[in-house]
Amino acid sequence: MPNYTASSLKAELNARGWRMTPQREKILYLFQNLPRGNHLSAEELHDLLEGQGEGISLSTIYRSVKLMSRMGILRELELAEGHKHYELNQPYPHHHHHIVCVQCNKTIEFNNDSILKQSLKQTEKEGFQLIDCQLTITTICPEALRMGWPSALPSNWSCTRAIADKK
Amino acid sequence: MPNYTASSLKAELNARGWRMTPQREKILYLFQNLPRGNHLSAEELHDLLEGQGEGISLSTIYRSVKLMSRMGILRELELAEGHKHYELNQPYPHHHHHIVCVQCNKTIEFNNDSILKQSLKQTEKEGFQLIDCQLTITTICPEALRMGWPSALPSNWSCTRAIADKK
DNA sequence: GAACATCCTGCAATTTATTCTCAATAAGCT
DNA sequence: AGCTTATTGAGAATAAATTGCAGGATGTTC
């Protein structure tokens, strides 16, 4: 999981018979300049680029994030929001994992280097080559617990943070 | 992550103001009698029940697996096949994790108790209550590596196992 | 064990993320 | 510079998943 530059991305693409394009470079650049802890859906990525005057079609966005995920440059997160999110696949010490609340989808990150180590060991043992590993912990968040989850919780109740997160 | 019976399921549902129904019982029963290592999509679950003369509508299937996942009875797997799969959320020693190949979606399971232990520790530290934890390792499988992945691999090539898996 | 409140199911219609198609364009190789 | 072929953009198509609603079933209460 190396850190990529435009030219190292180009080199790796070309080595596989693929091509560097302005679109791919812009997407890489955007992710590399995203504040830590942010992850974007294809739609959000599209709107963000649009806002910067960098119109890239939604089809290309989808194709690019998929390609870059398979290359190990991005990681695809499935954090219960109903659509995939993407973030840079960063090497140690920024590699991290997620805790998600099933009640409100609140997500927090945590670091744990031993998980990557154990994953490497396991994949080598099986003859696979590691691209990424993600530990996703499904939980009930403290706020929902304080509210008396599960019985005392109205079915439409949602943690305050969850509501705030819907921008 | 306890092992459920029809009556313990009913007790837990009722404690939350929910109800036991024949549909929910049949779904639990089916998962409990599934060969180890099998996981089903909503669609597959629907067809399987259909084949047993237990017609349950697809909406109900979707609603049930979602409910049972949030209760911690099932676990929702997102293993790159394009739709979610479900399996029993089993306690130690059957709790397991997955390695997935991005080239062919081949999936293998592996056991590792320390991951559950570390997850418990982490969630308690943050004040969350654990429902499930899944380590998903994204990889290139040995077969794709032998074929010279990535450069020598035609874009439409797929590991033989992947093709065989499409029944 | 009958009545009641409400939860659940099934059906059909709908939503929405993602993929596909295809003509035009542009990247990389010689 | 020319050639081959990967890539893009736009919109149509696909498919998983959700929702609204009317009728039926469940758990609770007295």
Q: What are the pLDDT digits (tens) for B93-110?
A: 888 999 999 888 889 999
Of B103, B132, B151, the CB nearest to A15: B151
Q: What is the pTM of this model?
A: 0.89
| Confidence at residue A164, expressed as pLDDT on a 0 to 100 scale | 31
Nearest to A130 by CA among A140, A117, A113: A117
CATH number of A1-91: 1.10.10.10
A85-120 confidence digits (pLDDT tens): 999 998 888 899 999 998 888 899 999 999 999 999
A92-167 homologous superfamily: Ferric-uptake regulator, C-terminal dimerisarion domain (3.30.1490.190)
| Confidence at residue B166, expressed as pLDDT on a 0 to 100 scale | 31
| Confidence at residue B149, expressed as pLDDT on a 0 to 100 scale | 75
- The helix or strand, by DSSP H or E, that contains position A138, with its residue range, turns out to be strand A129-140
Domain ranges of chain A: 1-91, 92-167
User: Cβ separation of B110 and A122 shorter than 8 Å?
Assistant: yes
| Confidence at residue B131, expressed as pLDDT on a 0 to 100 scale | 93
- What's the whole-number mean pLDDT along residues A31-46? 92
User: Cβ separation of B136 and A138 shorter than 8 Å?
Assistant: no
Q: Is A121 on the interface with B (CB under 8 A)?
A: no
**Average pLDDT for runs of 10 along chain B of length 167:** 83 92 97 90 95 93 95 91 90 89 88 93 95 94 83 58 34
Percent of chain A whose predicted confidence (pLDDT) is above 70: 88
